A and B are shown apart, each in its own frame.
Chain A
Amino acid sequence: DIQMTQSPSTLSASVGDRVTITCRASQSISSWLAWYQQKPGKAPKLLIYKASSLESGVPSRFSGSGSGTEFTLTISSLQPDDFATYYCQQYNSWGWTFGQGTKVEIK
Protein backbone atom coordinates (compact mmCIF):
# COMPACT_ATOMS: atom_id res chain seq x y z
CA ASP A 1 0.00 0.00 0.00
CA ILE A 2 1.08 3.57 -0.63
CA GLN A 3 0.86 5.53 2.62
CA MET A 4 -0.12 9.19 2.52
CA THR A 5 0.96 11.46 5.38
CA GLN A 6 -0.45 14.94 5.79
CA SER A 7 0.91 17.74 7.94
CA PRO A 8 -0.10 19.44 10.03
CA SER A 9 -3.05 17.52 11.47
CA THR A 10 -4.62 20.76 12.68
CA LEU A 11 -3.95 24.29 11.56
CA SER A 12 -5.23 27.47 13.23
CA ALA A 13 -5.46 30.47 10.94
CA SER A 14 -7.25 33.76 10.44
CA VAL A 15 -9.30 35.06 7.55
CA GLY A 16 -6.93 36.44 4.94
CA ASP A 17 -4.01 34.18 5.92
CA ARG A 18 -2.04 32.18 3.37
CA VAL A 19 -2.32 28.51 4.32
CA THR A 20 -0.22 25.58 3.15
CA ILE A 21 -0.91 21.88 3.77
CA THR A 22 1.64 19.20 2.90
CA CYS A 23 1.03 15.63 1.77
CA ARG A 24 3.83 13.08 1.44
CA ALA A 25 3.60 9.72 -0.29
CA SER A 26 5.56 6.66 0.83
CA GLN A 27 6.64 6.09 -2.78
CA SER A 28 6.46 8.05 -6.00
CA ILE A 29 2.97 8.64 -7.33
CA SER A 30 3.99 10.93 -10.20
CA SER A 31 1.25 13.60 -10.24
CA TRP A 32 -1.64 11.28 -9.43
CA LEU A 33 -2.82 13.23 -6.42
CA ALA A 34 -6.13 14.89 -5.56
CA TRP A 35 -7.21 17.24 -2.78
CA TYR A 36 -10.68 17.28 -1.22
CA GLN A 37 -12.46 19.60 1.20
CA GLN A 38 -14.93 18.20 3.72
CA LYS A 39 -17.26 20.13 5.99
CA PRO A 40 -18.98 18.55 9.02
CA GLY A 41 -21.80 16.21 8.08
CA LYS A 42 -21.12 16.56 4.35
CA ALA A 43 -19.44 14.48 1.69
CA PRO A 44 -16.02 15.62 0.52
CA LYS A 45 -15.68 17.89 -2.50
CA LEU A 46 -12.95 17.65 -5.12
CA LEU A 47 -10.72 20.75 -5.25
CA ILE A 48 -7.57 19.74 -7.15
CA TYR A 49 -6.71 16.79 -9.39
CA LYS A 50 -3.50 15.64 -11.00
CA ALA A 51 -1.62 17.53 -8.29
CA SER A 52 -2.19 21.01 -9.69
CA SER A 53 -5.33 21.11 -11.86
CA LEU A 54 -8.18 23.14 -10.40
CA GLU A 55 -11.58 21.45 -10.55
CA SER A 56 -14.23 23.46 -12.36
CA GLY A 57 -16.05 25.89 -10.07
CA VAL A 58 -13.38 25.87 -7.36
CA PRO A 59 -12.14 29.36 -6.39
CA SER A 60 -8.73 30.32 -7.76
CA ARG A 61 -7.40 30.97 -4.24
CA PHE A 62 -6.89 27.19 -4.06
CA SER A 63 -3.80 25.81 -5.76
CA GLY A 64 -1.83 22.60 -5.70
CA SER A 65 1.76 21.73 -6.51
CA GLY A 66 4.26 18.91 -6.34
CA SER A 67 5.12 15.62 -7.94
CA GLY A 68 6.74 12.37 -6.96
CA THR A 69 6.36 12.10 -3.20
CA GLU A 70 5.77 15.64 -1.93
CA PHE A 71 2.73 17.78 -2.58
CA THR A 72 1.18 20.97 -1.22
CA LEU A 73 -2.26 22.54 -1.16
CA THR A 74 -2.20 26.31 -0.76
CA ILE A 75 -5.06 28.65 0.03
CA SER A 76 -3.80 32.10 -0.91
CA SER A 77 -6.21 34.11 1.25
CA LEU A 78 -8.30 32.10 3.69
CA GLN A 79 -12.02 32.84 3.55
CA PRO A 80 -14.71 32.03 6.16
CA ASP A 81 -16.08 29.27 3.91
CA ASP A 82 -12.67 27.55 3.86
CA PHE A 83 -12.68 26.38 7.48
CA ALA A 84 -12.98 22.64 6.94
CA THR A 85 -10.95 19.43 6.84
CA TYR A 86 -8.75 18.76 3.82
CA TYR A 87 -7.68 15.33 2.53
CA CYS A 88 -5.17 14.30 -0.08
CA GLN A 89 -5.68 11.08 -2.08
CA GLN A 90 -3.28 9.16 -4.28
CA TYR A 91 -4.58 7.33 -7.33
CA ASN A 92 -1.31 6.21 -8.85
CA SER A 93 -2.50 2.61 -8.85
CA TRP A 94 -5.40 0.58 -7.57
CA GLY A 95 -5.31 0.60 -3.81
CA TRP A 96 -6.22 4.28 -3.59
CA THR A 97 -5.35 5.81 -0.24
CA PHE A 98 -6.11 9.04 1.58
CA GLY A 99 -4.11 11.14 3.97
CA GLN A 100 -5.38 11.35 7.53
CA GLY A 101 -6.73 14.87 7.02
CA THR A 102 -5.85 18.42 8.04
CA LYS A 103 -8.41 20.42 9.97
CA VAL A 104 -8.25 24.16 9.32
CA GLU A 105 -9.64 25.99 12.35
CA ILE A 106 -10.39 29.61 13.11
CA LYS A 107 -7.59 31.23 15.11
Chain B
Amino acid sequence: QLQLQESGPGLVKPSETLSLTCTVSGGSISSSSYYWGWIRQPPGKGLEWIGSIYYSGSTYYNPSLKSRVTISVDTSKNQFSLKLSSVTAADTAVYYCARHSLTGTTLGWGQGTLVTVSS
Protein backbone atom coordinates (compact mmCIF):
# COMPACT_ATOMS: atom_id res chain seq x y z
CA GLN B 1 0.00 0.00 0.00
CA LEU B 2 1.33 3.37 -1.01
CA GLN B 3 2.44 5.50 1.94
CA LEU B 4 3.73 9.06 2.31
CA GLN B 5 5.96 10.42 5.06
CA GLU B 6 6.91 14.04 5.66
CA SER B 7 10.29 15.01 7.09
CA GLY B 8 11.97 18.29 7.93
CA PRO B 9 12.55 20.83 10.69
CA GLY B 10 9.71 21.46 13.11
CA LEU B 11 10.88 24.98 13.90
CA VAL B 12 11.77 27.70 11.41
CA LYS B 13 12.75 31.30 12.13
CA PRO B 14 10.78 34.20 10.66
CA SER B 15 12.02 35.36 7.24
CA GLU B 16 13.80 32.04 6.63
CA THR B 17 12.83 29.22 4.24
CA LEU B 18 10.70 26.27 5.30
CA SER B 19 11.88 23.03 3.67
CA LEU B 20 10.05 19.71 3.81
CA THR B 21 10.48 16.42 1.99
CA CYS B 22 7.90 13.71 1.36
CA THR B 23 9.11 10.15 0.85
CA VAL B 24 6.82 7.84 -1.09
CA SER B 25 6.94 4.13 -0.31
CA GLY B 26 5.01 1.16 -1.64
CA GLY B 27 4.74 2.66 -5.10
CA SER B 28 6.52 4.79 -7.67
CA ILE B 29 6.42 8.56 -7.73
CA SER B 30 6.91 8.24 -11.50
CA SER B 31 3.41 6.86 -11.92
CA SER B 32 1.52 8.67 -14.67
CA SER B 33 -1.70 8.29 -12.67
CA TYR B 34 -1.12 10.83 -9.92
CA TYR B 35 -0.07 14.31 -8.92
CA TRP B 36 1.86 14.82 -5.71
CA GLY B 37 1.19 17.82 -3.53
CA TRP B 38 1.26 19.75 -0.29
CA ILE B 39 -1.66 20.88 1.84
CA ARG B 40 -1.42 22.73 5.14
CA GLN B 41 -3.65 23.33 8.13
CA PRO B 42 -2.97 26.07 10.72
CA PRO B 43 -3.75 24.95 14.28
CA GLY B 44 -7.52 24.85 14.79
CA LYS B 45 -8.23 26.05 11.24
CA GLY B 46 -9.13 24.68 7.84
CA LEU B 47 -7.22 23.17 4.94
CA GLU B 48 -5.23 25.11 2.35
CA TRP B 49 -3.83 23.62 -0.85
CA ILE B 50 -0.25 24.82 -1.39
CA GLY B 51 0.65 23.24 -4.70
CA SER B 52 1.16 20.05 -6.67
CA ILE B 53 3.67 18.47 -9.04
CA TYR B 54 3.61 15.78 -11.71
CA TYR B 55 6.47 13.31 -11.96
CA SER B 56 7.62 15.07 -15.13
CA GLY B 57 8.20 18.22 -13.09
CA SER B 58 5.13 20.26 -14.11
CA THR B 59 4.03 22.36 -11.15
CA TYR B 60 0.82 24.06 -10.07
CA TYR B 61 0.70 26.52 -7.18
CA ASN B 62 -1.85 28.30 -5.03
CA PRO B 63 -1.93 31.84 -6.46
CA SER B 64 -1.80 33.34 -2.97
CA LEU B 65 1.48 31.53 -2.20
CA LYS B 66 2.99 31.26 -5.67
CA SER B 67 5.65 33.92 -5.17
CA ARG B 68 7.10 32.05 -2.17
CA VAL B 69 6.61 28.38 -3.08
CA THR B 70 8.78 25.89 -4.94
CA ILE B 71 7.84 22.22 -5.26
CA SER B 72 10.30 19.79 -6.83
CA VAL B 73 10.49 16.06 -7.45
CA ASP B 74 13.38 13.61 -7.24
CA THR B 75 12.29 10.42 -8.99
CA SER B 76 15.58 8.66 -8.18
CA LYS B 77 14.80 8.96 -4.48
CA ASN B 78 11.00 8.60 -4.83
CA GLN B 79 10.64 11.94 -3.05
CA PHE B 80 9.16 15.36 -3.62
CA SER B 81 9.90 18.53 -1.70
CA LEU B 82 8.42 21.84 -0.62
CA LYS B 83 10.24 25.11 -0.10
CA LEU B 84 8.36 28.12 1.29
CA SER B 85 10.40 31.29 1.56
CA SER B 86 10.14 34.37 3.78
CA VAL B 87 7.99 32.62 6.35
CA THR B 88 6.04 34.40 9.07
CA ALA B 89 4.01 33.22 12.04
CA ALA B 90 1.05 32.90 9.67
CA ASP B 91 2.83 29.96 8.03
CA THR B 92 2.72 27.95 11.26
CA ALA B 93 0.70 24.85 10.38
CA VAL B 94 0.56 21.11 10.04
CA TYR B 95 1.93 20.38 6.57
CA TYR B 96 0.62 17.30 4.79
CA CYS B 97 2.09 15.73 1.70
CA ALA B 98 -0.51 14.11 -0.48
CA ARG B 99 -1.27 11.98 -3.52
CA HIS B 100 -3.89 13.38 -5.89
CA SER B 101 -5.84 11.80 -8.70
CA LEU B 102 -5.37 13.39 -12.12
CA THR B 103 -8.75 15.08 -11.70
CA GLY B 104 -7.86 16.60 -8.34
CA THR B 105 -9.20 14.52 -5.49
CA THR B 106 -6.75 13.79 -2.67
CA LEU B 107 -6.47 10.03 -2.43
CA GLY B 108 -3.82 9.68 0.23
CA TRP B 109 -2.12 11.77 2.87
CA GLY B 110 1.00 11.68 4.97
CA GLN B 111 0.54 11.80 8.73
CA GLY B 112 1.35 15.52 8.73
CA THR B 113 4.17 17.44 10.37
CA LEU B 114 3.79 20.54 12.50
CA VAL B 115 6.04 23.41 11.48
CA THR B 116 6.20 26.34 13.86
CA VAL B 117 7.57 29.70 12.74
CA SER B 118 9.16 31.42 15.72
CA SER B 119 12.40 33.09 16.72
Contact = CB atoms under 8 A, between A and B. Distances in A.
A binds B: yes
B46 A101 contact: yes
A83 B21 CA distance: 32
Interface in A23-78: 32, 34, 36, 43-44, 46, 49-50
A48 B105 CA distance: 9
B44 to A, nearest CB: 10
A1 B63 contact: yes
A39 to B, nearest CB: 12
A94 B106 contact: no
Interface residues of B, number: 19
Interface stretch (B8-16, B22-30, B78-86, B109-117): B109-117
Contacts of B107: 46
Contacts, number: 48
B109 A43 contact: yes
The main secondary structure of chain A at its interface with chain B is: loop
B20 to A, nearest CB: 15
A46 B106 contact: yes
A46 B39 CA distance: 14
B111 A46 contact: no
A36 B46 contact: no
B89 interface: no
A28 to B, nearest CB: 16
A32 B103 contact: yes
Given A49-B103, A101-B47, 4 more contacts: A43-B110, A89-B105, A96-B49, A98-B49
